[in-house]
Structure 1
Amino acid sequence: MTTKNTNNSSSLGRALSLLNEVCCSPVPLRFADLVERVELPKATVHRILNTLIEQGMVRFDEGSQVYHAGYGLLELAHQAWSKIDVRDIAAEQMRELWTETGETIHLAVLDRGDVIYIDKLESPKSLRLYSSVGKKGPGYCTGVGKALMAYLSEETLQEAISAQSFQKHTETTILNEQALRSALKQVRKTKVALDLEEHEEGIQCAASVIFNYRNEAVAAISITAPKFRVDDEKFKHFQERVKDACTEVSTRMGAMAST
């Protein structure tokens, strides 16, 4: 049994070594190049390459006699990324924000114009907030809601806007579509969405969005704090920190750097 496991591990290592050479070489490689690089017998390299080709991991160009990364790798990557839970990927950055600021950190997703809080790190300081994990909130007057709505397609955005109640919660609540669209335009410009006491009196938050490997906005993180203990300078710092945190999470989710 031990010998069999060892042989399997060795075969897997050889296959991965060959696949790495094919994928990471700056120029396409011929069979002789691969044999030289991995320092394996020709028969072994030939057998492994054939298996990789059968599995779609490698492509062989008959005309130029070189090997390329196979399209099966794209499907494999797609399946892997699609099963990633944003809560797991965002956990480290949320914890860093919570440790640094001492304020409440939210992670939320958008559902037909409403936000759903899927994770929350409660401030150790005494403060009762509306939010809780699993609870829904309005999209039009929350930082996470506006952060996510800003990156919807026009058709989906119109559906989300139509679903808003535009109920007045405070004196600064957004009350109509025109004002909301103006706020979303600003979010796309700055990459930060603000809730300036729009949902709860005395509570403000700064939020930014997380993109996945398809560059789709899939979640948002916010720093939420009472206005009385956060001056303008500190609040601006919160905006930069949450934006940086979401950029880091997006990178881990496979988003393109240009997003």
Structure 2
Amino acid sequence: MEKKPAGSSLSKALTMLNHVCTSPVPLRFAELVDLSELPKATAHRQLNTLLEHGLVRFDEHKQAYYPGYGLLALAHRTWANLDIRDVAAAPMRDLWSSTQETIHLAVLDDAEVIYIDKLESPKSLRLYSAVGKKGPVYCTGVGKAILAYLPEAKQQDIIHQQNFIRHTEHTLTTPQALEGNLQQIKDTGISLDLEEHEIGIKCVAAPIFNARHQVVAAISVTAPAFRTDDASYETMKGLVKSAADDISKRLGACD
């Protein structure tokens, strides 16, 4: 007697697709019927629909089903249309709620960073940054967080475009000093701006990655030095890293 599971046609097709995509080995028709608990006729119909749309493919030789190349096209269009500000909105709010300090989201723009979103601290704090404003990559937390994870050729190209203006006594002013700092960032996953761009202002930043593990942005917490003792600074590091990881996962990045 045929099995009679409940659910819409779409739900059944998605269930079948999920089994094909998550199985560690290619599945045959009989195995998919058992896993999905669908009647054979229904399973066959759903698989044919998925095949027609390129979401699964069938290997005649192995008589087994594989994820279809149509999934890659869908994923590419989805990622291309994602607005990172929308993806990052909830983690940014959570980070703001946890720290009550200013939160920045920034992306690379040629050899600089541009701030694309900002949540202001409810406490009094006047900063250089503003949405749409650009900043140097070599002495901002978000800039260095992105720069550290770029392919070496692109990283070197950007480093050699920097003017290395000394904004404060803490600014890194040579390519060698910056490269040493970038290695530390790669070792820890955290980028620090220790009053390098503005005196009295400290920043903790972390990189954000897409599904191909390419760095696409950075998120940071910025606070006045007098509000950041060692304990609070360590807490901020963990919170920023967690927020960046959350956004990366929402963009499809894997651990």
CA distance in 2, matches of 1:155, 1:119: 28
Give the structure 1 partner of residue 38 of structure 2: 39
- Measured against aligned partners, the alpha-carbon deviations of 1:137-191 in whole angstroms (never above 9, x if no partner) come to 1111100000000011121112211221111111111111111111111110111
Give the structure 2 partner of residue 243 of structure 1: 241
CA distance in 2, matches of 1:247, 1:10: 35
Shift of 1:41: 5.2
CA distance in 1, matches of 2:186, 2:94: 25
Which of 131, 140, 143 is the equivalent residue of 1:142? Answer: 140
Give the structure 2 partner of residue 132 of structure 1: 130
Residue identity over aligned pairs, in percent, reads 59
Aligned AA for 2:167?
H
**Would you say 1:63 and 2:61 are equivalent positions?**
yes
Aligned AA for 1:56?
G
Which of 147, 150, 173 is the equivalent residue of 1:175? Answer: 173
Structure 1 residues 97 and 45, CA, compared in 2 at 3 Å: closer, same or farther?
Answer: closer
CA distance in 2, matches of 1:33, 1:233: 54
Partner SS, residue 212 of structure 2: coil
Which of 199, 211, 214 is the equivalent residue of 1:213? Answer: 211
- Measured against aligned partners, the alpha-carbon deviations of 1:33-90 in whole angstroms (never above 9, x if no partner) come to 4445443352x44343233223211111212222222121122222212222221121
Aligned AA for 1:146?
K
Partner SS, residue 105 of structure 1: strand
Give the structure 1 partner of residue 48 of structure 2: 50
Which ranges of structure 1 fall in alignment gaps of 5 or more residues? Answer: 1-8
Give the structure 1 partner of residue 4 of structure 2: none
CA distance in 1, matches of 2:64, 2:200: 65
- Measured against aligned partners, the alpha-carbon deviations of 1:184-225 in whole angstroms (never above 9, x if no partner) come to 111101111111111111111111111110101111011101
Q: How does 1:1-259 map to 2 (within 5 A)?
A: 10-36=8-34, 37-40=36-39, 42=41, 44-257=42-255
Task: Give the structure-1-normalised TM-score.
Answer: 0.89
Aligned AA for 1:79?
R
CA distance in 1, matches of 2:112, 2:159: 10
Structure 1 residues 155 and 56, CA, compared in 2 at 3 Å: closer, same or farther?
Answer: same
CA distance in 1, matches of 2:167, 2:208: 27
Shift of 1:10: 4.1
Structure 1 residues 236 and 31, CA, compared in 2 at 3 Å: closer, same or farther?
Answer: closer
Which ranges of structure 2 fall in alignment gaps of 5 or more residues? Answer: 1-6
Task: Give the structure-2-normalised TM-score.
Answer: 0.90
Partner SS, residue 237 of structure 2: helix
Structure 1 residues 102 and 69, CA, compared in 2 at 3 Å: closer, same or farther?
Answer: same
- Measured against aligned partners, the alpha-carbon deviations of 1:98-130 in whole angstroms (never above 9, x if no partner) come to 112111110001112211000000011111100
Give the length in aligned residue pairs: 248
Kept in 2, the 8 Å contact 1:112–1:163? The answer is: no
* RMSD after superposition: 1.8
Instruction: Give 4+ residue runs of structure 1 displaced > 6 Å after superposition.
Output: none
Kept in 2, the 8 Å contact 1:18–1:38? The answer is: no
Name whichever of 17-26 and 224-233 sits farther off. Answer: 17-26
Aligned AA for 1:130?
Y
Structure 1 residues 41 and 239, CA, compared in 2 at 3 Å: closer, same or farther?
Answer: closer
CA distance in 1, matches of 2:24, 2:168: 58
Aligned AA for 1:173?
T
